[in-house]
Amino acid sequence: MMALYPLKFKPIVLPKVWGSESWVVSTCDGKDSVVTNGYLKDNTLQEIIGIYLDELIGGKVYEQYGERFPILCKFIHVNDNLSVQVHPDDDHAEQYDSGKTEMWYVHEATDDAAILLGFNRDTSADEVRALLHENRITDILRRQAVQQGDAAYIPAGRVHALCKGAHVAEIQQNSDTTYRLYDYNRPGLDGKLRPLHIEEALRVLDFTGLDEPLLRYEAQMNDASNLVSDPHFTTNLLRLDRPLRRETDELDSFIVYMCVAGKVRIECPDDDCESVVIGREEAVLIPASLTSVRLVPDGEAELLETYV
Active site residues: 180
108-138 burial string, b = 16+ CB within 10 Å, else e?
bbeeebbbbbbbbeebeeeebeebbeeeebb
Distance CA 218, CA 236 (A): 11
CA of residue 201 relative to chain centroid, distance: 21
Distance CA 252, CA 4 (A): 15
**Strands across the sheet with 71-78, in order?**
12-16, 19-25, 71-78, 166-173, 102-109, 151-154
- Element containing residue 133 per DSSP (H, E): helix 125-133
Distance CA 292, CA 308 (A): 16
Distance CA 105, CA 256 (A): 15
